[in-house]
Structure 1
Amino acid sequence: MKDFTGKTGRTIILELQRGEKLLESVREYMAQRGIKNAVLSSAVGSLLRLVVHKPTSMDAAAVDEFETIEDAMEVCSLIGSVIGGEPHFHIVASGVKGLYSGHVEPDTEVLYLLELTFTEITGLNLERRLTPENVKKIFSVP
């Protein structure tokens, strides 16, 4: 077990518009404002494209399956964080064709709008690194 202790900073409400890409927009916004670490505390909205990956086995090394869904979807749950400026989100979304879930990947696109509320975490210098097991874990950097 590892732990990292910081302090809460600004609260940010970000509203993405139709056609904006989720991860790419969050990454750009955080970089422009110098926000390195934050927790996603609320998300409501809709998507027209969802790109996710999911684990496919119980092995120690992660093997993932990628899926792209193009459907009108309501975001039912979107949780995650931004560490070292890099967003890491997991989602459950409901569409006409079914229920979808997984780790959000680039090219996920907003349908009507997506309201995201973030709480900044200050006093930490963190980054995610890919381990030999193909898992991105958090590390403190000097």
Structure 2
Amino acid sequence: MDTFESDDGHVVVRLDRGDLALESLADACESHGIDAGVVVSGIATFSNLNIHYVHRTDLPEEQSKRNTDLELSGSWEVTNVNGVVADGEPHLHVTAFDGDRTVGGHLEDGCEVNVLGEFTIRELSGLDLERRPDDHGISKLRER
């Protein structure tokens, strides 16, 4: 991983083969002091893709009953990653294609870069954001 910071507060993150995407982006936020921000662009290829998505319209209390977890192997062309950084933690969504199907969802730990990854993070000055669970256990973005 390597990072490059612009004068106007953008951080470009280059991930190399074998780097873990979500974990590396969290590390980049920490090393650049980004507590609140947005991932405004992201492209990559992954050798595996770990995501989850909500598959129901009702909200059972138990999260495992409302989410589907996918651990997909093979080469995945990532066409978009974006989301919000709150309390230094990225909450990101991804769209990817493996040559046969396109999938999307919440990016999870363990997505290994196959060839390369390029992401841009923009710090948001003057915001103090965190995520806290609501009555249904859904982690909601809030100001501290």
* TM-score band, normalised by shorter chain: 0.7 to 0.9
Q: What are the ranges of 5 or more consecutive residues in structure 1 without an aligned counterpart?
A: 1-8
Structure 1 residue 29 displacement after superposition: 1.5
Instruction: Count how many residue pairs are aligned between Structure 1 and Structure 2.
Output: 133
User: Which residue matches 2:23?
Assistant: 24
Tell me if structure 2 keeps the 8 A contact 1:71–1:96. Answer: no
In 2: Cα distance, 1:123 partner to 1:55 partner:
32
In 2: Cα distance, 1:84 partner to 1:66 partner:
25
User: Which residue matches 2:79?
Assistant: 76
In 2: Cα distance, 1:47 partner to 1:131 partner:
33
User: Which residue matches 1:48?
Assistant: 47
Q: TM-score, normalised by structure 1?
A: 0.87
The residue type equivalent to 2:135 in the other structure is P
* 2:66 is equivalent to residue 66 of structure 1: no
Structure 1 residue 95 displacement after superposition: 0.5
Aligned identity (percent) is 29
Q: How does 1:1-142 map to 2 (within 5 A)?
A: 10-61=9-60, 63-141=66-144
In 2: Cα distance, 1:87 partner to 1:115 partner:
15
**Aligned residues: CA RMSD:** 1.4
Query: Which SS does the other structure have where 1:25 is aligned?
Result: helix
In 2: Cα distance, 1:94 partner to 1:60 partner:
29
Query: Which SS does the other structure have where 1:23 is aligned?
Result: helix
User: Which residue matches 1:4?
Assistant: none
| Greater strand share, structure number | 1
In 1: Cα distance, 2:118 partner to 2:127 partner:
26
Query: Which SS does the other structure have where 2:9 is aligned?
Result: strand
Q: TM-score, normalised by structure 2?
A: 0.86
Structure 1 residue 64 displacement after superposition: 0.7
Q: What are the ranges of 5 or more consecutive residues in structure 2 without an aligned counterpart?
A: 1-7
Q: Which runs of 4+ in 1 moved over 6 A?
A: none
* Superimposed CA distance per residue, residues 60-117 of structure 1 (whole angstroms, 9 cap, x where no aligned partner): 3451111101111111121212111111111110113421211111111111111001
